[in-house]
Amino acid sequence: MLKRNADRILIVSVFLLVALGVVMVYSTSFMVALERYGDKYFFVKKHIVYTLMGFGAFLVALKLPYRAYRSLAPALFVVAVVLLFLIFVPGVGHKVGGARRWIDAGFIRFQPSEVAKLGMVVFMAYLLERKKDRIQDFYTGFLPCVVLPAIPIALVMAEPDLGTSVTMAILLMVMAFIGGVKARYIGGLVVASLPLMYAVITSFDYMTRRIVAFLDPWKDPGGAGFQIIQSFLAFGSGGLSGVGLGEGRLKLFYLPEAHTDFIFSIIGEELGLIGVTAVIVLYAGILLSGMVIARNSREPFGTYLAAGITLMLTLQALINMAVVLGMLPPKGLPLPFLSYGGTSLMVSMASVGILLNIYTAEGDR
């Protein structure tokens, strides 16, 4: 039954999350928008435009045969790497909060790391299919499937964007495991990466402060621990059914980034445990339907691509929710389909279009 209805579960889950996202972006941003821009609809109007663009990306990806990505994979990977390099070009890369994560093209500003995630997934699916007969060999299978995709991860880390780079690294390793790479190779890679992670974290004061705040946010309640403490208060205030849609208080200049990285906290405050559970169920629907699509693909490329896209969407959601619940250090990751942000929403919607195309293509055979 799940196999026959995988497309419906996926579509319903995604569309409900997108609709909730529009509502919650307005609820979490209207006061900030009014104070900064004199227009309480400033952020939600932009988000609605991003949503429409996301549906456009979804329709294009839905119509483009997924097998076309097999031949396009190397080019998409190169484009993603070039875009990440452009971030460091003066006058092109845009610096926000001490990190270069945006490209400012004048008429549009976008985040290349979001594009790079999807590009890496497509390229990994391409490599895993090509190397499937040699995937357990260290030199001809494992290394090519890890070294090349590690290039965009290193560039994202250099921005610096530790949250996205760690997400991409986990995604790479899980896809490699699904593709048949030996577990001991992946374990060795994790161990070898730990000194690098330590060096990166200790090189930036704000990263160190985040780790300290994660371990004990009340040591610095007015500084590094402020955001996560406010998130705790939001969830605690919500109770079972919440204080009511639009009635939350933590978004009123208490919880920074309430319409982006911490939108899940306001869902907890305004919609309570019931709303939080509903959101988790919707992401579970994406995970289950995506894995069914991956399992039932008759081509290795379709299996790896569907699994990678599903993990890309749900892994980021899991990390975001773990962060706002204080289970992981703050990482600055948007919640897919819900958080304010054009690049993330458009890439996520395009990814869903690819998933549905895989499902449709396999059903037609």
What is the phi/psi pair of residue 138, to 5°?
-65, -45
Residue 21: pLDDT band (50, 70, 90) is very high
Percent of the chain with pLDDT over 90: 50
Nearest to 187 by CA among 201, 198, 176, 179: 176
Q: Say what the pLDDT of residue 64 is.
A: 92
> Rounded mean pLDDT of the chain?
88
Whole-angstrom distance, CA of residue 145 vs CA of residue 124: 7
pLDDT at 123 over 70: yes
More confident residue, 294 or 100: 294
Q: Say what the pLDDT of residue 92 is.
A: 75
pLDDT digits (tens, 9 = 90+) for 152-169: 998 988 877 888 888 999
* The amino acid at 214: F
Arithmetic mean of pLDDT, 135-151: 84
pLDDT digits (tens, 9 = 90+) for 39-63: 999 999 999 999 999 999 999 999 9
Arithmetic mean of pLDDT, 25-41: 90
pLDDT at 2 over 70: no
Q: Say what the pLDDT of residue 129 is.
A: 92
Percent of the chain with pLDDT over 70: 95
More confident residue, 267 or 111: 267
Written as six digits, the tokens of 275 are 């709303």
Q: Say what the pLDDT of residue 209 is.
A: 78
Of 1-10, 187-196, 242-251, the one with minimum mean pLDDT is 1-10
Q: Say what the pLDDT of residue 189 is.
A: 85
pLDDT at 246 over 90: no
64 burial via Cβ count (<10 Å: 0-12, 13-18, 19+): middle
Residue 204 neighbours by CB under 8 Å, 6+ apart: 160
Residue 137: pLDDT band (50, 70, 90) is confident
3-state SS track over 294-330: HHCCCCHHHHHHHHHHHHHHHHHHHHHHHHHCCCCCC
pLDDT digits (tens, 9 = 90+) for 175-209: 999 988 888 888 888 888 888 878 877 777 777 77
Q: Say what the pLDDT of residue 125 is.
A: 94
Q: Say what the pLDDT of residue 107 is.
A: 61
